A and B are shown apart, each in its own frame.
Chain A
Amino acid sequence: MKPGTRLKSAACDTEVMVIRCADGQIECGGAPMGEAKPAEAAPLAADFSAGTLMGKRYVDADGKYELLCVKPGKGSLSVDGVALVVKDAKPLPASD
């Protein structure tokens, strides 16, 4: 998948932009994400229902995946069933 691809959650309103990825399955709310929204919504898995936050960047422990939330929702993000975590934001330096 190309970086810059926009993925939609099948289980909630979440949309992400792919910053970095490998060959695993990117999921939200426990269901695979896709470029199009499925006709029928997937159920929100209880284990993946902590929600996504607009503008936050989500990463895996190995640094292979990074997703930017461009639309928040009730599901939380995972890859092959392993939850992603929020990457800490850095301060903005002086304008130039």
Chain B
Amino acid sequence: MSLPKPDPRTGPAIPLARWADRQLKAMGETYGLTALSGLEGATLMGERGANGGYRIGGRISAGLGGSRLMPTRDGGWFALTLIRAEDRELLPALFGDARLAIDDPAAIAAATLQHDCADLVKRGRALGLPVASADEVPASPPVTVMTRGQRRERPAGHRPLVIDLSAIWAGPLAGHLFWQAGMEVVKVESRTRPDLIRRDDPTTFDLINQGKANVLVDFASTHEKAALIALIRSADVVIESSRPRALRHLGIDAETLVREVPGLVWLSVTGHGASGDAANWVGIGNDCGVAGGLSRAMAELTGEIGYVGDAIADPLTGITAAREGLAALRSGEAQRIGLSMTAISAMALAEERAFNRAAIDAELRAWGTAAGQPFPHVARRVLQAEVHEIGADTTRYLPGLAQC
């Protein structure tokens, strides 16, 4: 349970790292997985920032700086994440201004100040933009069992097969923890949409995808999609982070698979929840941390609002998904589990405050007054296994494809 002592040459500890650490230690103890107990929460939450030389950015997210917190007309704070060029094209519609200078952060901030926060959040979500208010209530519970299926008895020593369809950080981190737990993990990437963290941050990609087999699927091919679904039917766990219509478009019906495949554990990683309207909202690590109330909690302590950690909802959710997945596997019952990155952020804060209010508040205060300082140092993890080339294991896991 101990965290490394703060190093005076580096920035303050990432708030909630101790919560993350407790989850890892508990998983390690419950399931006898020493590899999980051996991981530090501070490492999983801070390694991307430390390896990338990030600085605490205040109202601009650390790293790429793609997310910004801006004041609104009614005194609220609106978080907007802009990392895709085609999302910027939606800004005139978001603000109702055809002449908005969509590449100018000052113009976007000025436009934000002309609107009420709730209106921007509502319209932003209809437009499919990752947006949040610092004062929203999570739309879904952190973890929801959406569907249950039949039980499967697994023999002792069975090595679970995990199919990881997710991308970026939260889902792949869950897959990484399953790999650390000794499972066979197959990362599936789309021929037309590979996981772009491979290109944008290869160091992090390698750390959280090491040891996973890699399968490349052409989702335009009916034959390849059928081969993937056959693979999923032989699996113990599926991790995905697609919006419902994207999954349907891929021909993957999670609900039916969970009802038909005994013991299949299906983890749906989402920004704001896996059912209802919220299932269609886009959310990524930084804006989900804001939506989960972390920035508001920090502002209440320091008077200054800002982002807490680095895409903090991602590692918190990856760890939670692994915890829920391990519990579901042990139960043997097939189930689809929806995970909301926003509500998980709120849950982690509430649990940490219940655990040690003084410590978490001190950390939030330290983080909130450290804009410009570097991220805390964490020891760089050494790769323990090979990082498989993209598509290296396609013929092994989708053998039917070789015959075409």
Chain A residues in the interface with B (C-beta under 8 A):
2-5, 17-20, 53-55, 57, 66, 68, 70, 90-96
Contacts and interface: CB of A to CB of B under 8 A. Distances in A.
A77 B62 CA distance: 41
B397 interface: no
Contacts of A20: 89, 92, 98
Contacts, number: 88
Contacts of A92: 83-84, 167-168, 193, 196
A4 B193 contact: no
Contacts of B81: 96
Contact of B96 (A2, A54, A94, A95): A2
Contact of A93 (B90, B127, B200): B200
B95 interface: yes
A95 B128 CA distance: 15
B286 A4 contact: no
A95 B84 contact: no
Interface of B: 61-67, 81, 83-86, 89-90, 92-98, 123, 126-128, 167-169, 192-194, 196-197, 200-201, 243, 245, 280, 284-286, 311, 314
30 contacts: A3-B93, A3-B96, A3-B98, A4-B95, A4-B96, A4-B123, A17-B127, A19-B89, A20-B98, A54-B245, A54-B280, A55-B128, A55-B243, A55-B245, A55-B280, A66-B89, A68-B128, A70-B126, A90-B84, A92-B167, A92-B196, A94-B64, A94-B168, A94-B169, A94-B200, A95-B83, A95-B284, A95-B285, A96-B83, A96-B311
B83 A93 contact: yes
A94 B201 contact: yes
Nearest to A1: B98
Contact of B93 (A68, A91, A96): A68
